[in-house]
Structure 1
Amino acid sequence: MTCYPGMHAIWLHRFAHVLWRNGWKWLARVVSSFGRWMTGIEIHPGARIGRRFFIDHGMGIVIGETAEIGNDVTLYQGVTLGGTSWNAGKRHPTLEDGVVVGAGAKVLGPFTVGAGAKIGSNAVVTKAVPAGATGMTPEG
């Protein structure tokens, strides 16, 4: 585990987040940038992340400033938890406990993905996903 880039990104984020919450925003961004350079995983220091968060094959993951991630969440490579505007306030998704987001998925906007939900690989999700459901991009 000590050689795993996903763990490095999470450890650096937790440090950057403490700095961010205590008003050391410039230093938090420096730590965050170092983490991105070292791991290929970009986590904004303002993002709130729960316990036992797991990043598997994390290259290309992007987690925005107002994203909230619950406990026991898993993200695979290339996932974006992004915003759809520059408006002040909540712009990024909330993932409740136990959510799994497949490789390449884009979860965009200020809505909630319910507990235990799954987001399919390469899906583009812009609306709420109920607890226990699966979010996918329709074929066609």
Structure 2
Amino acid sequence: MFLGIREDIASVYKRDPAARHFFEVLTNYPGLHAIWWHRVSHRLWKWRLKWLARFISTLSRWVTGVEIHPGARIGRRFFIDHGMGVVIGETAEIGDDCTLYHGVTLGGTSWNAGKRHPTLKSGVVIGAGAKVLGPVTVGENGRIGSNSVVVKDVPAGATMVGIPGRLVTPSREQSTLNEEQKQKLDAMAEKFGFDAYAVSPDNPDPVAMAIGRLLDHVNIMDERVAELCKAVNRLGGDVCAELSRVELEDVMDGISEQDLETGPESVSQANNDRE
């Protein structure tokens, strides 16, 4: 048990830059306290001491603001940041290294007995205020944006946002990118990170996302044309000078962070003013 506590505290340093030292995390993170209370109540639940398990769960809710049913199954290094308002239902299953922010609900959509709450595979991150409802599965390393309502499965490695939730990035299995392109996307993801609050100016708005996808398509077409040109040149032709690549940063260069925060209308107005 104490080894698990040390492991939980160590995992916080990787996910919360505000964590400064061991004692601070041990005493001031109610999300961790709720998880530790749950481990006790879950053990009692498995021993069929269900009233006592529920009573300890209720005490934990009073103290931490986090409600975790003692029947829920939770993996290692689970982290609830801020904690307040999180609700996790009885048949929920959570894998290793998952992260939930405040206001998240893993709820059910049926009054019937049996599996009625979500299953989160390892590495899942769910943003503040999101609701995942019903016996759905969020695949490994799946991401759910703030205030989303998800009622269907999320593929591994995919991101889902909105009400109802919709996919905004393809899963790794569905992707048609080659390994070099996947590594580039991974590097960009590591640079920008997953923004749990969906307000970071580093994360593009829907217009910028559409532009980014168009640029991806253009770059792929450029690579195909370059391959055709090389084949023609090997046959004795002399075609296709070197093409410069178009990057998202080039398009976004003239757009300020304030423009991104206030939306595409301000960007259009700013462009008109510059003209």
Output the TM-score relative to the length of structure 2: 0.50
- Paired residue for 2:123? 98
Give the gaps of 5 or more residues in structure 2: 1-24, 165-275
Q: Which has the higher helix share?
A: 2
> Match of 1:81, SS?
strand
Bigger relative CO (Cα 8 Å, ≥ 6 apart)? 1
Aligned-residue Cα RMSD (Å) equals: 1.0
CA drift at 1:54: 0.3
1: CA distance, partners of 2:65 / 2:144: 22
Alignment of 1:81 with 2:116, yes or no, is no
1: CA distance, partners of 2:151 / 2:161: 10
Q: Which has the higher strand share?
A: 1
> Match of 1:89, SS?
coil
Q: Spell out, residue by residue over 1:2-59, the C-alpha distance to the aligned partner (whole angstroms, 9 max, x if none).
A: 2210111000000000000110000000000000000000000000000000000110
Alignment of 1:2 with 2:26, yes or no, is yes
Q: Which runs of structure 2 are paired with 1:9-28 in the superposition (5 Å)?
A: 9-28=34-53
* Change over 3 Å in CA distance of 1:40–1:130 after alignment to 2: same
* Change over 3 Å in CA distance of 1:16–1:117 after alignment to 2: same
Q: Percent identity?
A: 72
Alignment of 1:107 with 2:137, yes or no, is no
2: CA distance, partners of 1:117 / 1:126: 14
1: CA distance, partners of 2:50 / 2:158: 37
- Paired residue for 1:131? 156
Alignment of 1:36 with 2:61, yes or no, is yes
1: CA distance, partners of 2:87 / 2:163: 23
Alignment of 1:45 with 2:70, yes or no, is yes
Amino acid at match of 2:51: W
* Bigger Rg, structure 1 or 2: 2
